[in-house]
């Protein structure tokens, strides 16, 4: 059986070019004991993959050049030498960026049993959703009535973060980059602020207008001027959960940090970075709380879908153009 998969041929500087990605085809070896073959149905592309393309070990190993790329995927088992995973079982695993995956059964997770589409386990009920929940609850220690600011507020992580925050009662403000996203935020009762065309001072002013009392919690997905403007709008005792800094991922040379880091001192604030995998033992708690709300429709989620394996690099690159609302996915 053939498998088609993507590789990268270089460590990109700046925004990756489409030519970085190469599609290959290979004949899969005979299945060993304990191995399965999975026909991938949905692939996830995520901003963190940009870091893995840089050839540097961070909290995770870099992608190897000219080797199959990895990423979360959901698929169906089509051949099995592992009795725990019979043919027909739907699973989640990390052998994405390809159509047919061959891997040991101990690298598979069965899908949880909510009445949701399979691909929700790559988005709102998968890693990005778990990230939103962990950052708000386990890092920022969000309390009832807190005023919460979320940058990247209409993305995969941000769109759940704003809704979970909104359900706890305070003023919630989302920063996003397009009118469509701002409209979506407003439709959820979230005050929406655009960062496009603004400098840090103008964004500071816009956030102050949206929430003059200031924020108890800042959920950081973006960095750059969003961080600077957020620091200027903190309440005393604020908590900042540093989830991501996508504005920096394609920088050739690192830009200067925020000029107003002293606001952490002035507002006696706490700023803490986190990686969702360190919190994975709490995934069942997250599912128990959020799963029924997704099933019941109390919490909404959006998806942006590219069709066909060939479009995987395009889907990935679109994350950095802000082309996705909610989770960016590839449907095979
Ligand atoms: N710590 C963890 O464990 C963890 C786990 C998952 C994700 N993350 C981080 O969380 C953040 C959101 O991830 P996600 O999967 O939910 O992605 P996402 O928000 O669905 O997609 C990326 C969004 O970022 C915005 N963006 C892209 N380039 C930007 C720039 N230069 N300046 C400002 N905004 C930019 C765009 O939205 P606009 O149109 O609004 O600009 C784009 O749609 C990322 O920083 C990611 O690395 C961290």
Same domain, 26 and 159: no
Question: Ligand 1 pocket, 317 CB below 6 A?
Answer: no
Question: Ligand 1 pocket, 123 CB below 6 A?
Answer: no
CA–CA separation, 63 and 60 (whole Å): 9
Same domain, 158 and 54: no
Question: Ligand 1 pocket, 134 CB below 6 A?
Answer: no
Q: Is residue 295 part of a domain?
A: no
Same domain, 259 and 164: yes
Question: Ligand 1 pocket, 274 CB below 6 A?
Answer: yes
At 319 the pLDDT is 98
> How far does the centroid of ligand 1 lie from the alpha carbon of residue 271, in Å?
18
Same domain, 142 and 270: yes
Same domain, 102 and 135: no
Q: Is residue 283 part of a domain?
A: no
Q: Is residue 290 part of a domain?
A: no
pLDDT at 329 over 90: yes
Question: Ligand 1 pocket, 185 CB below 6 A?
Answer: no
Same domain, 265 and 158: yes
- Which two structure tokens, joined as six digits, stand for 311? 């479009």
The three-state (H, E, C) secondary structure of 284-319, written as one string: HHHHHHHHHHHHCCCCCCCEEEEECHHHHHHHHHHH
Nearest CA to ligand 1 atom 43: 322
- CA of 249, closest atom in ligand 1: 31
Q: Which residues contact residue 127 at a Cβ distance below 8 angstroms, ignoring those fewer than 6 apart?
A: 44, 46, 72, 276
Q: Is residue 288 part of a domain?
A: no
Same domain, 271 and 137: yes
Q: Is residue 287 part of a domain?
A: no
Same domain, 119 and 131: no
Look at residues 244, 262, 277 and tell me which one is the last residue of a structural domain. 277
Contact 157, 286 (CB under 8 A): no
What does the buried/exposed string (b/e) look like for 287-314 if buried means 16 or more CB atoms within 10 Å of the residue's CB?
beebbebbeeeebebbbbebeebebbbe
Residue showing tokens 């019941």: 296
Q: Report how many domains make up the chain.
A: 2
Domain CATH for 14: 3.90.180.10
Q: How much is the mean pLDDT over the chain?
A: 97
Mean pLDDT for 14-28 is: 97
> How far does the centroid of ligand 1 lie from the alpha carbon of residue 46, in Å?
8
At 95 the pLDDT is 98
Q: Is residue 286 part of a domain?
A: no
Domain that holds residue 262: 127-277
Q: Is residue 6 part of a domain?
A: yes
Same domain, 43 and 69: yes
Domain CATH for 169: 3.40.50.720
- CA of 159, closest atom in ligand 1: 16
Q: Is residue 21 part of a domain?
A: yes
At 254 the pLDDT is 84
Question: Ligand 1 pocket, 170 CB below 6 A?
Answer: no
pLDDT in tens, 54-87: 999 999 999 999 999 999 999 999 999 999 999 9
pLDDT at 247 over 90: yes
CA–CA separation, 153 and 184 (whole Å): 10
Angle at 316 (CA atoms; ends 331, 19), nearest 5 degrees: 110
Model confidence at 256, pLDDT cuts 50, 70, 90, reads: confident
Give the mutation target among 71, 155, 218, 280 for probing the ligand 1 site: most ligand atoms within 8 A of CB.
155
pLDDT in tens, 109-164: 999 999 999 999 999 999 999 999 999 999 999 999 999 999 999 999 999 999 99
Model confidence at 252, pLDDT cuts 50, 70, 90, reads: confident
Same domain, 148 and 187: yes
> How far does the centroid of ligand 1 lie from the alpha carbon of residue 187, in Å?
21
Q: What is the DSSP string of 37-100?
A: EEEEEEEE--THHHHHTTT--SSSPPPPTTS---B-EEEEEEEES-TTS-TT-EEEESB-SBSE
- Which two structure tokens, joined as six digits, stand for 152? 């990247």
Angle between helices 156-166 and 127-134 (to 10 degrees): 40
Same domain, 139 and 231: yes
Whole-model pTM: value is: 0.98
- CA 25, distance to chain mean position in Å, is 28
Q: Let me know how long the chain is.
A: 332
Same domain, 177 and 313: no
pLDDT in tens, 161-174: 999 999 998 999 99
């Amino acid at each position: 059986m053939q498998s088609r998969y993507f590789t990268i041929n270089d460590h990109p500087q700046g925004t990756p070019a489409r030519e970085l990605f190469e599609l290959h085809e290979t004949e899969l070896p005979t299945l060993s004991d304990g191995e399965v073959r999975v026909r991938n149905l949905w692939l996830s592309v995520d901003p963190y993959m940009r870091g893995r393309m840089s050839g540097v070990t961070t909290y995770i190993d870099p992608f190897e050049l000219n080797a199959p790329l990895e990423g979360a995927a959901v698929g169906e088992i089509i051949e099995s030498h592992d009795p725990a995973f019979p043919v027909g079982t739907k699973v989640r695993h990390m052998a994405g960026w390809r159509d047919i995956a061959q891997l040991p059964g101990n690298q598979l997770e069965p899908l949880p049993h909510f009445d949701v589409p399979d691909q929700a386990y790559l988005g709102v009920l998968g890693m990005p959703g778990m990230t939103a929940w962990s950052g708000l609850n386990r890092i920022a220690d969000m309390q009832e009535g807190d005023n919460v600011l979320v940058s990247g507020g209409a993305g995969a992580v941000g769109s759940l973060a704003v809704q979970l925050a909104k359900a706890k009662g305070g003023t919630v403000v989302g920063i996003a980059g397009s009118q469509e996203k701002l409209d979506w935020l407003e439709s959820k009762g979230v005050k929406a602020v655009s960062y496009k065309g603004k400098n840090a001072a103008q964004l500071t002013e816009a956030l102050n207008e949206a929430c003059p009392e200031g924020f108890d919690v800042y959920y950081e997905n973006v960095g750059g001027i969003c961080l600077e403007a957020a620091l200027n709008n903190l309440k005393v005792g604020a908590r900042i959960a540093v989830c991501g800094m996508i504005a920096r991922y394609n920088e050739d040379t690192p830009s200067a940090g925020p000029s107003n880091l002293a606001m952490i001192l002035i507002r006696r604030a706490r700023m803490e970075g986190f990686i969702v995998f360190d919190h994975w033992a709490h995934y069942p708690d997250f599912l128990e709380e959020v799963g029924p709300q997704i099933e019941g429709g109390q919490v909404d989620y959006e998806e942006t879908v590219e069709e066909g394996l060939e479009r995987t690099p395009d889907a990935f690159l679109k994350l950095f153009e802000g082309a996705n609302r909610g989770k960016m996915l590839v449907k095979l």
